[in-house]
Amino acid sequence: MTETPAPAAVLADFDAYAQAVETVAAAARAYYGGADSSVDDDTYDRLLRGIGVYESEHPDQMLAESPVGKVAAGALPTGDVPHTVPMLSIDNVFDPEGLVAWVASLERRIKRAPAALTVEPKMDGLAVAVRYRDGRLDRLVTRGDGIAGEDVSHAIGTIEGLPERLPEPVSIEIRGEVLLTTEQFEAANEIRREYGATVFSNPRSGAAGTLRAKDRPYVVPMTFYGYVALPFPDDDSPFAEELRTADHSAVMARVEEFGVLTTGRTAARLRVCATVEEVQAAVDEIAALRAELPFGIDGIVIKADAAADQRDAGNGSRAPRWAIAYKLAAVHKITKLIGVDWAVGRTGVIAPRAILDPIEIDGSLVGFATLHNPADIERRGLMIGDQVSVYKAGDIIPRVEAPLVHVRTGAETPIEFPTACPQCGGELDTTQQRWRCAQGRACGLQAGILYAVGRDQLDIEGIGGRIVTQLIDTGAVADVADLFTLTRDRLLTLDRMGDKVADKLIAGIAQAATQPLSRVLCALGVRLTGRSMSRRIARHFGTMDAIRAADVEQMARVEGIGPGKATVIVAELAELADVIDKLVAAGVNMTEPGVTPGAADEPAEAGAGSGTEPGPLTGKSVVVTGAMTGALAALSRNEMNELIERAGGTASSSVSKKTSLVVAGDKAGSKRAKAETLGIPLLTPEEFADLVGTLLPA
């Protein structure tokens, strides 16, 4: 279900109303002007809606500077370039009930049901009118007050998605959004750090500031996505008449043919719907794709598709009556950084984590966020006590993007970096961006052993934190290989260890020795690998001997591993040589089932993985979503991925055009919806179990 923003703010009296007007006006100036606002999008929307409610109840108290009913809340500079036709804002709804009410009002205005409704993402950037004259890119104009805007044509050449020439010598105005994609935002902040400039706190403010900037010593690339096109009023050519009478969806298809970027090339492409139920379903589909899109969205736009319906609905002074924005809950929020803690991972890596004043983002309460490494903290210029922009979308781990430097009070304090290992107190290796305890895995031994015995690695049931601590403290275990030398008598020397528990553990260890190579490799905790990457490496090489013999060039040939990762992985395997030798000596399995040894050195057939035997899923990319049932009910997601790869397929976590099929269990959500949209085959768990047949675990 689409996550909706919080309800309107309750303004108890005139003083609260006046303060809300002042706050929203300041935030709007920042929002549209490229500066950092001190309130997040949800707070802005709640206050703006609260102002509207208060004014409807107290019309005699309405302030002249109220943002309600004004294009861009009255915050954008007017500029001196008149628009060919007014460039209006768009009204909002916030829930399914609001959408139904809007569609009903549209039907009343046009005195019929609309022929069709389009649904497309509302991109979070800066609205711009792009003018082409005789096929040549002529001028860029901001929205301004809707009547006239600023000329920002100096940005031509820095914006992707806008060809300088169209394939036909036509004149057309294409309106859309100039924004920073996620990739461009990260690159822009790297550029600004290099030049000593303050980093952007979010992509929207970065795009707004960049579009207006002149004479910078550096260039920040941006991207344009078109969302409407219209002819010039004085143009009476056949092409202009075509634009005036065509459906919105047809016009946007024509724009895309011209080579101008639209959302048609993304998973959130424009959808044409016949009923309000279809519209709501499309809204939910696009909202579910939010985390996967290359740009930020803050809502979803619904429009009457037919030109006649748009004409009959007409426009208000601020917004068209034939379009509405279904607002989504903000994924950028502002909160306070109240501390940083430092944890030691299983390979000895020192990981900083931001401690936040808890705040709700995208439907969940966020109290912590990733900071990656000390260099990342320095690049972002963070201080304890800062108001920070925090981002979260979908299942992505929240991250701190940047401090709001302009609201600092002077009470902020520097973040203290550790001078010794936070866990053992030993020396730190700070030669890489990711700091590490000089003892490496020895420092993170307990975490490493607990990880190794987990269900998706060696799967030794019954070995918990208390037992691991005793094994380490008594010297029984110094690495994961020592688990396989444990005897029943040695286990019985541990506190609170009975005969039955000891027997169960010995049996579990014996079973672990037969696990596939991919799980053994994963249990070693090689840096830059996890469950999926360990399976890829194991299925590529087939044996541990082949993996250990691989040089950087050979390792880099594994899917998803480039030269950078390969260098680290090869070095890690060399560091683990003694542990691997001990595992071999203990009789632990060092081969991957279904893989032909040495086949990684031979050219792979099209659609087949290196060294793997053909199976029912050979050459197919498979996504699993929802709860499995029937024969698959007991399998973890990792075990499902292993099953897919044993059958010759590739397990993936996201649905795309490259996905071959989706296994959709109970309560399958956005991934199923995306698969249906893309026309990707769907299988029930039972159908999938029949497909893989004898490969199912006993």
Active site residues: 122
H-type helices in 319-428, by residue range?
374-380
Helix, strand or coil for residue 244?
Answer: helix
The HSE-up count of residue 643 (CA atoms within 13 Å, CB side) is 24
40 and 332 in contact (C-beta within 8 Å)? yes
Both tokens of residue 170? 């036509």
Q: For residues 407 and 381, is the Cβ–Cβ distance under 8 A?
A: no
Tell me the chain's radius of gyration from C-alpha atoms: 29
Angstrom distance (rounded) from CA 534 to CA 528: 10
Specify the DSSP element, H or E, that contains 402.
strand 399-403
Q: Decide: 221 and 160 in contact? Cβ < 8 Å.
A: yes
Is residue 222 helix, strand or coil?
Answer: strand
Amino acid type, 358: P
Buried b (16+ CB within 10 A) or exposed e, 489-526: ebbeebeebeeeebeebeebbeebeebbbbbbbbbbbb
Cα 43 off chain centre by: 22
Report the distance separating Cα 431 and Cα 191, nearest Å.
23
Closest CA to 399 of 365, 453, 353, 438: 353
DSSP string, 277-343: HHHHHHHHHHHHTGGGSSS-EEEEEEEE-SHHHHHHH-B-SSSBTTEEEEE---SEEEEEEEEEEEE
Q: Which amino acid is at 406?
A: H
Q: What is the DSSP string of 497-556?
A: --HHHHHHHHHHHHHHTTS-HHHHHHHTT-TT--HHHHHHHHHHH-BHHHHHH--HHHHT
The rounded distance, in Å, linking the Cα atoms of 455 and 637 is 11
DSSP 21-85: HHHHHHHHHHHHHTS--SS-HHHHHHHHHHHHHHHHH-GGG--TT--TTSGGGG-S---SEE-SS
Which of these, 152, 169, 164, 282, lies nearest to 207 by C-alpha position? 152
- Within 10 angstroms of residue 696's Cβ, the number of other Cβ atoms is 15
Closest CA to 71 of 300, 315, 355, 261: 315
* Per-residue b or e along 593-615, where b marks 16 or more CB atoms closer than 10 Å to that residue's CB: ebbeeebbeeeeeeeebbbbeeb
Pick from 646, 676, 648: which is nearest to 664 by CA? 676
Sheet hosting strand 159-160, strand order edge to edge: 136-142, 126-133, 172-179, 222-230, 159-160
Please report where in the chains the tokens 């960049």 appear, as a residue: 210
Measured in whole angstroms, the distance separating CA 127 from the mean position of its chain's CA atoms is 23
Q: Is residue 279 a contact partner of residue 302, using CB atoms and an 8 Å limit?
A: yes
Do 641 and 624 touch, CB atoms closer than 8 A?
yes
CA distance 350 to 342: 6
